[in-house]
Amino acid sequence: MTDTLIKVDLNRPPTDNERVHNRWHPDIPMACWVQPGDDFILETYDWTGGFIKNNDSADDVRDIDLTTVHYLSGPVGVKGAQPGDLLVVDLLDIGAKPDSLWGFNGFFSKNNGGGFLTDHFPSAQKSIWDFKGMFTSSRHIPGVNFPGLIHPGLIGCLPDRPMLEMWNERERALIATDPERVPGLANPPSAGTAHMGQMRGEARDKAAAEGARTVPPREHGGNCDIKDLSRGAKVFFPVYVDGAGLSVGDLHFSQGDGEITFCGAIEMAGWVHMKVSLIKGGMAKYGIKNPIFKPSPITPRYDDYLIFEGISVDESGRQHYLDVNVAYRQACLNAIEYLKKFGYSGAQAYSILGTAPVQGHISGVVDVPNSCATLWLPTGIFDFDINPNAAGPVVQFDGSIDMPLSPRPALTPRSPPMPTYDYDCVQCGGFEALRPLRLRDEPAACPGCGTAAARV
């Protein structure tokens, strides 16, 4: 019987669990160790650690503190793994936790995360999706039902220190080009809400101040949101530290290419059954600096699509030069306008594109000045015919069902995800610090001088 090496209790906060973390740092201790050739199971929280609830209010999506995410299970150390190797990860099976057969999709408010189309959908909204075997449907979006392709949105290995420093330096430089932008251009380290696994004391506080946020994909893998990393997929990860330090989380029941709503798949808690092996010296042998993968042989099969085209001309009519981002944005907006003709709200259409097995393609990048991107919408996910015809679209819905909306600004200040405790530094005096409950009686590093200070 396969061992479950990391378990999560959905009734307890993730900050109580020493086998999860929410930052990348080379000093995070391995939560457990395995041998090459071993297979094992890791349970995972949803990426928010259970903050989003199965209800009909979007207040939680509006009010979430995004400095707390993502909660990842790991790191798993692989004995014998050394920098320069490739860690081979076979995804044998993935599923939802039996006590949590539901997921959520959401749009963050523009002043708290935003999203790909945040200028069009600036307020927090969410949809809840129920799992029935391999299929899913939502009480907030009628007329759609489709099979899931469960996959980890986030999986990767620990960086070494030079890589961590490179990430932080280049992302700080990007932020400096437009520091007042909302949403921000990148997410710098945020020590107050860092959860560093088993780390404690001054070492923990130092690493928390340096730890890279888990939001973007980077050279080590990370938050790549590749929907085809499902059962049967194989991933080849560059190894940067002894033991590799594999972590996984942010499971999705289903996702459209691009994860365009940002909270943009059907997010869920679950488990991953995987097997690991090594290719010694594999990075140099194959010239690899980013992960490569073989996709799952299991995928929803659709043979009829409506394909929406977008070019590098934005909503205002401004011409951009071969901008694929603008082109895909226009393809998405074109699909949303089309679906609204059948009675969907814009938000419902947007959520469908983020959750359903939609394909996104870069169709052309050489014909100046326009790139061409396409969005492939499977017609078979709908309970009615969406194909164009001479009679025109038939309105299916009267607007009585829609996604919960929370238009008010995010609560300011947001409630801290961890308790605040008082500490006294012998040099600088008293200060407050956010600390997980399990660390409340340990010294905290003074923010002024770095000296370990006792709790008052």
Identify whether residues 165 and 61 lie together within a single domain. yes
The answer to whether residues 74 and 113 belong to one domain is: yes
User: Among residues 362, 387, 412, which one ends one of the domains?
Assistant: 387
118 in the same domain as 98: yes
The DSSP bridge partners found for residue 412 are: none
Which domain covers residue 357, as residue numbers?
305-387
Average pLDDT over residues 386-410: 92
| Residues 246 and 368 placed together within one structural domain of the fold | no
- By percentage, how much of the chain surpasses pLDDT 70? 95
pLDDT in tens, 237-254: 999 999 999 999 999 999
Query: What is the rounded average pLDDT for all residues in the chain?
Result: 94
Pair (163, 199) in one structural domain:
yes
Q: Tell whether 180 is covered by a domain.
A: yes
160 found inside a domain: yes
Query: How open is the CA angle 56-57-60, to the nearest 5 degrees?
Result: 130
E strand or H helix at 350: helix 346-355
Residues 282 and 317 reside in one and the same domain: no
Higher confidence at residue 255 or residue 441?
A: 255
In a domain, 396, yes or no: no
Is the alpha carbon torsion for 298, 256, 218, 194 positive or negative? negative
pLDDT tens-digit readout, 23-78: 999 999 999 999 999 999 999 999 999 999 999 999 999 999 999 999 999 999 99
CATH classification at residue 151: 2.60.120.580
pLDDT tier, 415 (very low <50, low <70, confident <90, very high otherwise): very low
Q: Is residue 394 part of a domain?
A: no
Boundary (domain end) residue, out of 268, 294, 320: 294
Confidence of residue 448 (pLDDT cuts 50, 70, 90): low
Residue 336 resides in a domain: yes
Instruction: Answer whether residue 413 is part of any domain.
Output: no
Domain count, the chain: 3
HSE-CB for 373 with a 13 A CA cutoff: 24
Q: Is residue 398 part of a domain?
A: no
pLDDT of the residue at 454: 82
**pLDDT for residue 278 is more than 90:** yes
Per DSSP, the residues of 158-181 read: ---HHHHHHHHHHHHHHHHTSTT-
Residues 234 and 359 in one domain: no
The per-residue pLDDT for range 283-315, each reduced to its tens digit, is 999 999 999 999 999 888 899 999 999 999 999
The tens digit of pLDDT for each residue in 303-354 reads 999 999 999 999 999 999 999 999 999 999 999 999 999 999 999 999 999 9
Round to whole Å and give the CA distance between 333 and 187: 27
User: Could you give the dihedral angle defined by the CA atoms of residues 192, 198, 204 and 210, in that order, rounded to the nearest 10 degrees?
Assistant: -70
pTM here is 0.89
Predicted confidence (pLDDT) at residue 394 exceeds the cutoff of 90: yes
* Long-range CB contact pairs, 399-402, < 8 A, 24+: 399/343, 399/345, 401/139, 401/140, 401/141, 401/142, 402/140, 402/345, 402/347, 402/348
CATH code at 378?
A: 3.10.28
235 in the same domain as 119 = yes
* 180-230 per-position pLDDT tens digit: 998 899 999 999 999 999 999 999 999 999 999 999 999 999 999 999 999
Residue 319 DSSP class: B
What is the reported pLDDT for 412? 46
Residue 347 lies in a domain: yes
Tell me which of 294, 316, 338 is where a domain ends: 294
